[in-house]
Chain A
Amino acid sequence: MTSKDLELDTFPKLIRRNAQERPNVPAYREKEYGIWQTYSWKDVYDNSRALGLGMVDLGLQREDAVAIIGSNRPQLYWVFSASQAVGALPVPLYQDGVAEEIQYVLEHAEAKIVVVENQEQVDKVLSIMDQCPSIQYVIYKEERGMRHYDQPFVKSYAEVLELGHVYDQKHPDFYGAEEIKAKGSDIATLMYTSGTTGRPKGVMLSFDNMVQAGKLSVEFESLNEKDKVLSYLPMAWVGDHLFSYSQATQAGFSVNCPENAETVLTDLREIGPTYYFAPPAIFETMLTQMMIRIEDASAIKQKMFHYFIGVAKKCGVEILEGKPVSLVDRLLYKFGDLLVFGPLKNTLGFSQIRVAYTAGAPMGPEVFKFYRSLGLNLKQLYGQTESCAYVCIQNDKDVRPDTVGPPAPGCEIKIDEASGEVLFKSPGAFVGYYKNDEATSEARNSEGWVHTGDAGIMTDDGQLKIIDRAKDVGKLKNGTLFAPQYIENKLKFFPFISEAVCHGADKEAVAAFINIDLEAVGNWAERRGISYTSYQDLAGRDEVYAQIKECVEQVNRDLGIDSELAGAQISRFLILPKALDADDGELTRTRKVRRRIIAERYEPLITALFSDASVADIESDMTFEDGRKGMLKASVKVANSETYPAMRAAS
């Protein structure tokens, strides 16, 4: 590290550098009045300065907290730099949170000023003001609907900027002295984790954390000021903070804010980002829509599409990763790029993408490979708020659908032997939970390793594979790691399987309940002239069992690749005679399986799975689609499936 780098240890300093070195380079864009409005790095600096001073004029002091609520807007990103420059602590909140959640965070963080986007959020904050005595001012960005608010503590963004300008004239040296006061070890932001269990926790991230995570990831992907990112994921999510603030100020690239949530896809096309992040669901939806629209295209176009997608499947990924490919395939792929892949990516807004990430949930290997075969450098990322979303990044040359890559530069990973939990040490590792030392010491052990709560394994060549939440992972009787959700997800990637439940904790082997997807299997059966009367009838067909058996055995083959999971292959399965249903309490409303209830209700079936029986009888209550209650009576076949010996990881 050079001495110059040492000086750039906080965001205000980085922004000041950007304003000096690249004053006219676009930093933030937003679409307003149908036109993209651009703010340069100099604008960012000037506005942060005015806003920061305006808030000081309103009484903001060093170490006070400033809350930010709203969708991605340049003006809201400047609240981060403005607060940090005057020594205050920015706290972004999820805008769609209900009033109680917002109240909890505002109260816990003791926010003094709340900066919000529009009237809706002003109302939300006003409704909880009584419970949050620390709040002194509410600043709103959007003027619309605000004419009737005459409370003296509700101020418009423009008003505060004006206060800042006046303050700056009176005290011209104040800002320059303030903005360089902070050190790398000071707390930069407080990010609340959404907290699936209990109250949200405030994660304290220092400048060193965020700046280093940004710097290392910028270097890893060689991002520069010419890059463009679309900023549409919540500002309170650490990933967005990393991409749209930390990396942007580090590399000086532009952050583009869509007009609103509905225009994201249009804006994506217009901006053509070079750097993009989306959760798996978005990629999956895009693929489905693409396939539906292709069905409507003319016969020639359909033929062309399917032919060249075939070519891409064969050699696209290899070409992307720079592996040897025959000349003929290379030419065909070039041709396909001209006719199909290029226009397709252009329609999706992916033409200029150099790096795209996905994270947060497992992505079907087929979907993942599809995008990569089109030449889209889609990679997986692993991290959490406590690590500034920076633990693992896949390497351009070695991207696999089922791992999240090797530890990123500067990060170390260890798998806890007893629990199988992933532990990490990294430059982004958080300082602690705000006002909660107990939780901090639980999350970080005495040697400095941070617990992730995720169970994972290291593949034999050093890539991390996340398999489940650590608390859900069990062990078979012989001690083999058993991660039910991991196996179930693999099963669910097959279109024929809509739901799966694996059993095996403290048992000899793994066995599975399968739910068939009525639409997919029904279609398949019709095309083969297999007649059926009901879901139950279809689910019991030998032909269907044979199909599902193939899927199960494919999963077993995949499991066999990793030595640690090879022992947890599915040895027996059955197809449930009814679809698991939230109305029967078998699934949660968000469609997660309720293992305990399923285990109780289908107890005879589980017993049969772990015996030699080939048929089992079940009686159970069920709710029909029209809401009537009834009794399910069925004989269910139990099938055996082939398991495979473990092999070394294919590298």
Chain B
Amino acid sequence: MTQQEVKPGEILLQVDDISLSFGAVRAISDVSFDIMKGEVRAIIGPNGAGKTSMLNCINGFYHPQQGTITYKGQTRSQMKPFEAAAQGIGRTFQNVALFRGMSTLDNIMTGRNLKMKSSLFSSMIWWGSAQKEEMQHRRYVEDIINFLEIEAIRKTPVGRLPYGLQKRVELGRALAAEPELLLLDEPMAGMNVEEKEDMCRFILDVNDEFGTTICLIEHDMGVVMDISDRVMVLDYGGKIGDGVPEEVRANQKVIDAYLGGGH
């Protein structure tokens, strides 16, 4: 089967009955859900509920023992993360994973790696098409820098930046790969209120401006309820709720899971 073009409002990614175990530990058990093109989809749940494992399954880092993942109409078997990236699945990580000694600009530039065509040799001598190509990529990266309002730190090594800005740079690097589906693992963890507000605005802007579908994990309920179109709730590896924010908020199982009751 080959990939199909997906229109806004149609299912972009379908997860069917997947289960993932590490030895005797079941991280995810029989979870099914879907992500529609153009939406902001949130995955929430207490610590250890299997949220990050789920993202890892989606971008091919973990391979579930059971169940299927269908992306753009193509049901995949074992897939490597770089293949997922090449198909248009980008992500950021819970703990910032940037090249600390490199500048903001260079870090975002690495996100363009998949789009670069010139050979190692022509890149080394920086001649002809390699030169032209780099200029095009730089232009795209500059658009992202402008979009995320990080002009002032363009040349600053990211190791010297405050945490909130590092997160923003990481988002920039993920955007540089022009993903169709962007997985954000706790994009607002450890941020202050103002930084969170900025990040929310950027996530919504990315969704709106680039048409990128977003799947995010977040702990801050206020944020999740504000910006998501649909929310899925995981607890102990199982799905306990799924729907629009109002439904999830009213779901008794979800309330119990968060208040620690019922276990």
Contact present for B205 and A259 (CB under 8 Å): no
> How distant is the Cα of A147 from the Cα of B208 in the complex, in angstroms?
10
Contact in complex: B209, A34 (CB < 8 Å):
no
Residues of chain A in range 231-289 having any CB-CB distance to chain B below 8 Å: 259-260, 262-263, 266
Inter-subunit contact B209/A145 (CB<8 Å): yes
The residues of B that contact A34 with a CB separation of less than 8 Å are: 105, 138, 142, 145, 151, 154
A260-B151 in contact (CB<8A): yes
Q: Does A144 contact B (CB under 8 A)?
A: yes
A259 and B151 in contact, given A33-B142, A34-B142 (Cβ under 8 angstroms): yes
Chain A residue numbers with a CB within 8 Å of B146 are 33, 144
Scoring A residues 76 to 88 as 1 if CB is less than 8 Å from chain B, else 0, what string do you get? 0000000000000
For the complex formed, measure the closest distance between the CB of B67 and the CB atoms of chain A, giving whole angstroms.
38
- Within 124-175 of B, Cβ neighbours of A (below 8 Å) are at 138-139, 142-143, 145-147, 149, 151-152, 154
CB nearest neighbor in A for B149: A260
Residues of A within 8 A of B139 (CB): 33
Q: Are B209 and A144 in contact (CB under 8 A)?
A: yes
| A263, B205: Cβ atoms closer than 8 Å | no
CA distance A34 to B139 in the complex (A): 9
| Cα separation A3 to B28 with both chains bound (whole Å) | 88
A41 CB → nearest B CB, Å: 27
Cβ proximity bits B79-117 to A, threshold 8 Å, 1 near / 0 not: 000000000000000000000000001000000000000
Question: A residues within 8 A CB of B151?
Answer: 31, 34, 259-260, 262-263
C-beta contact mask, A208-246 vs B, less than 8 Å → 1, else 0? Answer: 000000000000000000000000000000000000000
Once the chains are docked, how many angstroms separate the CA of A259 from the CA of B154? Answer: 12
Known: A33-B142, A34-B142. A144 touches B152 (CB 8 A): no
Partner of A262 from B142, B147, B152 at Cβ < 8 Å:
B152
> Smallest CB–CB gap between B168 and chain A, Å?
13
B152 & A263 in contact (Cβ 8 Å cutoff)? yes
A266 to B156, CA, bound (A): 11
Q: Chain B interface secondary structure, helix, strand, loop or mixed? A: helix
**Residues of B contacting A260 in the complex (Cβ-Cβ under 8 angstroms):** 149, 151-152
Interface residue tally on B, bucketed by range: 10 to 19
| Residue in chain B with minimal CB distance to A265 | B152
Chain A residues lying within 8 Å of B147, measured Cβ to Cβ, are 144
- Among candidates B138, B143, B149, B205, residue contacting A145 with C-beta atoms closer than 8 Å: B205
**Chain A residues positioned under 8 Å from B105 (CB to CB):** 34
A259 to B153, CA, bound (A): 12
A454 to chain B, nearest CB (A): 37
Give chain A's interface residue range (CB within 8 Å of chain B).
Answer: 10 to 19
Q: How far is the CA of A263 from the CA of B145 in the complex (A)?
A: 13
Query: Which residue of the partner chain A has the closest CB to B153?
Result: A262
Chain B residues whose CB sits within 8 angstroms of the CB of A266 once the complex forms:
152
Per the bound structure, the CA–CA distance linking A144 and B144 in Å amounts to 12
Give residues of chain A (10-33) contacting chain B, Cβ–Cβ below 8 Å: 31, 33
Closest to A31 in B: B151
Q: Which residue of B lies closest to A258 (CB)?
A: B151
| Closest chain B CB from A616 CB (angstroms) | 46
Whole-angstrom distance between the alpha carbons of A263 and B153 in the complex? 8
Q: Which of B22-60 contact A (CB under 8 A)?
A: none
Shortest CB-to-CB span from B138 to chain A, Å, is 8
**In whole angstroms, how far apart are the Cα atoms of A266 and B152 in the complex?**
8
Q: Which residue of B lies closest to A33 (CB)?
A: B142
- B residues within 8 A CB of A262? 151-152
Which residues of chain B come closer than 8 Å to A145, judged between CB atoms?
A: 205, 209
Q: Please, what's the 1-or-0 string for A29-45, where 1 marks a CB less than 8 Å from any CB in chain B?
A: 00101100000000000
Least CB distance, A490 to chain B, in whole angstroms: 37
> Which residues of the partner chain A approach B205 to less than 8 Å between Cβ atoms?
145
Query: A144 to B143, alpha carbons, bound, how many Å?
Result: 10
With a cutoff of 8 Å between Cβ atoms, the chain B residues found around residue A33 in the complex are 138-139, 142-143, 146
Neighbouring B residues of A144 by C-beta, 8 Å: 146-147, 209
CB distance from B231 to the nearest CB of A (A): 25
Distance to closest chain A CB from B206 (angstroms): 12
Q: How far is the CA of A142 from the CA of B138 in the complex (A)?
A: 20
How far is it, in angstroms, between the C-alpha of A147 and the C-alpha of B205 when the chains are bound? 12
Bound CA span A263–B142, Å: 15
Q: Which residue of A lies closest to B143 (CB)?
A: A33
CA distance A177 to B105 in the complex (A): 49
Closest to B155 in A: A266
Closest CB in chain B relative to A266 CB, distance in Å? 7
Instruction: Kindly list chain B residues whose C-beta atoms are within 8 Å of the C-beta of A259.
Output: 151-152
Report chain B residues within 8 Å CB of A31: 151
Nearest residue in A to B154 (C-beta to C-beta)? A34
Q: How far is the CA of A262 from the CA of B154 in the complex (A)?
A: 12
Interface centre among A31, A33, A262, A263 (most CB of B within 10 A): A33
Output the nearest chain A residue to B150 by Cβ-Cβ distance.
Answer: A262
Bitwise, B185-208 to A at CB < 8 A (1) or not (0) is 000000000000000000001000
Bound-state CA distance A561–B205 (Å) is: 61
Nearest Cβ on chain A to B133's Cβ, whole angstroms = 16
B38: min CB distance to chain A, Å: 14
Q: Given the complex, which residues of A lie within 8 Å of B149, measured CB to CB?
A: 260
Give CA–CA (A262, B145) in the complex, Å.
Answer: 13
* Nearest residue, chain B, Cβ from A34: B142
In whole angstroms, what is the CA distance A31 to B149 when docked?
14
The listed residue with most A CB atoms (<10 A of its CB), out of B139, B146, B149, B151, is B151
With both beta carbons as reference points, the residue of chain A lying nearest to B147 in the complex is identified as A144
A263 to B151, CA, bound (A): 7
Min C-beta distance of B103 to chain A, whole Å: 11
Residue of chain A at shortest CB distance from B209: A145
CA distance A34 to B149 in the complex (A): 12
Q: CA A263 – CA B205 in complex, angstroms?
A: 23
Interface residues in A585-605 (C-beta closer than 8 Å to B): none
Give A583 Cβ to nearest chain B Cβ, in Å: 23
Tell me, in angstroms, the Cα distance from A590 to B156 when the chains sit together: 34
Tell me the bound Cα distance from A266 to B105 in angstroms: 15
Per-position binary interface string of chain B over residues 221-241, scored 1 when its CB falls under 8 Å from any chain A CB and 0 otherwise: 000000000000000000000
Q: Within the assembled complex, what's the spacing in Å between the Cα atoms of A266 and B104? A: 15
CA distance A259 to B151 in the complex (A): 7
Q: How many Å from the CB of B151 to the closest CB on chain A?
A: 5
**4 closest Cβ pairs, A-B complex:** A262-B152, A33-B142, A263-B152, A259-B151
Given contacts A34-B154, A144-B209, 20 further A-B contacts (CB under 8 A): A31-B151, A33-B138, A33-B142, A33-B143, A33-B146, A34-B138, A34-B142, A34-B145, A144-B146, A144-B147, A145-B209, A147-B209, A259-B152, A260-B149, A260-B151, A260-B152, A262-B151, A262-B152, A263-B151, A263-B152
Q: Can you list 28 A-B pairs, Cβ within 8 angstroms, ordered by A?
A: A31-B151, A33-B138, A33-B139, A33-B142, A33-B143, A33-B146, A34-B105, A34-B138, A34-B142, A34-B145, A34-B151, A34-B154, A144-B146, A144-B147, A144-B209, A145-B205, A145-B209, A147-B209, A259-B151, A259-B152, A260-B149, A260-B151, A260-B152, A262-B151, A262-B152, A263-B151, A263-B152, A266-B152
Interface residues of B (CB under 8 A from A): 105, 138-139, 142-143, 145-147, 149, 151-152, 154, 205, 209
